[in-house]
Amino acid sequence: MAFSDGQADFRSDTVTRPTAAMRAAMASADVGDDVYGEDPTVNALEERVAGLLGVEAALYVTSGMMGNQIAINLLTRPGDEILCVETAHVRNHENGAASANSGVAFRTVTTSGGQISPETIARLTAESGYHLPSITLLSWENTHNYSGGTVVPFDVLVAGSEAARSHGMRVHLDGARLWNAAIASGVDLAQWTGITDSVQVCFSKGLGAPVGSAVCGSKDFVEAARAVRHRLGGAMRQVGVLAAAVDVALDEWERIDGDHTLARELAVGLAERFPLSVNPSPETNMVLLHEQGCSVPLKTIETALGEAGVRVGFISPTMLRFCTHRDVNSDDVRRVLGVVDMLVADLPTNR
Ligand SMILES: Cc1ncc(COP(=O)(O)O)c(C=O)c1O
């Protein structure tokens, strides 16, 4: 369902607004000073998240980026390199935080779908030597945003993680959308986290909570993470008012399956109109429309949709992304397809 102003916003799954139930929970949340560890709502949430993810402990943090940056800070040393795919969020979209805060650089791999093979890990670590930086952390992103919410398959993640460990590396998982990966793959949340040293999960994306993420791992890791969070200015006080909304979101996290169904509905519709430019079977909640092979320029599509009250976003100059989430529905998908139909009907070849 579009927002109350009639806008349907497909730019990201971060645009959702808290539900009435979340707002009610926020209003009545039992709170305390979380810096003293005395906010009961936060404490309960961290315990719940740890249980759900099958890890020893979890820490509520302000954002996905803070969760990633805390993990990087704890699992590397200045001068190290992090191995990740070229299009990883930690490398491209965190304002250079890993370099600025932790003094590390990135060794990147160009692959599709966020996957890194054991062979690549072996080759790159063999190239590391006396004069070269040490690659000490492998960072996965699942689902992989830039590829259109694709799932890094479980066996790929296990094989890569084991290879990384055999070369002395630690393993972090940017699971901003691990919820989507778990639902799409049928592989339990706890299985994904079982092979990593740290995982970051976002509550403010498909789950629809207004604020926050958790960074998770062993008890020792989370104790150290608490100190780094403080150092980064991320220690909050009566933050149970936010955690309460997350608690409501977690009651129904599996509803994101519906976002995946909606994404397929949209992708099939777009692929009927632009068969060369859209994958009709997206794996999760993102649909990419590519400029190549598209009979209407993407800019024209974006503008026409905007005039019809539909917002979409470019994730590169040649790629429009449609993201489904709890605040869009089938009516909004029909609105998109209706606009596209008008543009296609206007093409000179059809006159
Ligand atoms: C894959 C991925 N990781 C991390 C983040 C950072 O999350 P936040 O915006 O909460 O800092 C995002 C945000 O879009 C993301 O897509």
Q: Is the CB of 174 under 6 A from ligand 1?
A: yes
pLDDT of the residue at 351: 46
Beta-carbon contacts of residue 330 (< 8 Å; ≥ 6 apart): 262, 265
Check pLDDT > 90 for residue 346. no
Mind listing the pLDDT tens digit for each residue in 66-79? 999 999 999 999 99
* Distances in whole angstroms, Cα of residue 253 to Cα of each of 48, 179, 278, 284, 320: 13, 8, 27, 14, 26
Provide mean pLDDT across the span 327-350: 92
- Residue span of the structural domain in which 214 resides: 31-251
Check pLDDT > 90 for residue 127. no
Regarding whether 206 and 300 lie in a shared domain, the answer is: no
- Categorize the per-residue pLDDT at 186 as very low, low, confident or very high, splitting at 50, 70 and 90: very high
Regarding whether 102 and 221 lie in a shared domain, the answer is: yes
Regarding whether 311 and 189 lie in a shared domain, the answer is: no
Regarding whether 197 and 305 lie in a shared domain, the answer is: no
Please report, in angstroms and rounded to a whole number, the separation of the first and last CA atoms in the chain: 35
Check pLDDT > 60 for residue 332. yes
% pLDDT > 90, the chain: 94
Mind listing the pLDDT tens digit for each residue in 226-275? 999 999 999 999 999 999 999 999 999 999 999 999 999 999 999 999 99
Check pLDDT > 90 for residue 148. yes
Domain termination residue (choose one: 251, 277, 309): 251
Q: DSSP code of 144?
A: B
Domain containing 340 — which CATH number? 3.90.1150.10
Tell me if 3 is assigned to some domain.
Answer: no
Q: How many domains does the chain have?
A: 2
Tell me if 26 is assigned to some domain.
Answer: no
User: H or E segment at 251?
Assistant: helix 240-251
Provide mean pLDDT across the span 1-18: 90
Regarding whether 261 and 203 lie in a shared domain, the answer is: no
Q: Which of 1-15, 205-219, 266-280 has the lowest mean pLDDT?
A: 1-15
Regarding whether 268 and 180 lie in a shared domain, the answer is: no
Q: Is the CB of 141 under 6 A from ligand 1?
A: yes
To the nearest whole number, what is the mean pLDDT of the chain?
A: 96
Q: Is the CB of 145 under 6 A from ligand 1?
A: yes
Domain containing 81 — which CATH number? 3.40.640.10
Q: Name the burial class of residue 223, with classes exposed (0-12), middle (13-18) and buried (19+) by CB atoms within 10 angstroms of its CB.
A: exposed
Separation of CA 179 and ligand 1 centre (Å) = 13
